[in-house]
Amino acid sequence: MRTWMCLICGWIYDEEAGLPEEGIAPGTLWEDVPPNWVCPECGARKEDFEMIEV
Ligand SMILES: [Zn+2]
């Protein structure tokens, strides 16, 4: 599982945790997050996220 960080606000998406409150089940890979999904904090798009090392 990988972790992705929003380059705009620093919010982190953890594939292992998912985002259940937005309908993204735990274990959802970044590639499987809908392309129209946006950062819950700042509204940045997926291309504004970068994979980070844990
Ligand atoms: Zn953000």
Full pLDDT tens readout for the chain, 54 residues: 999 999 999 999 999 999 999 999 999 999 999 999 999 999 999 999 999 976
Q: What is the CATH number of domain 1-29+49-54?
A: 2.20.28.10
Report the predicted TM-score, pTM, of the whole model to 2 decimal places: 0.91
Quote the pLDDT of residue 54: 65
Quote the pLDDT of residue 53: 77
What are the residue ranges spanned by the domains of the chain? 1-29+49-54
Q: How far is the CA of 53 from the centre of ligand 1 (A)?
A: 18
The b/e string for 11-37 (b: 16+ C-beta within 10 A; e otherwise) is eebebeebeeeeebeeebeeeebeeeb
Q: How far is the CA of 43 from the centre of ligand 1 (A)?
A: 6
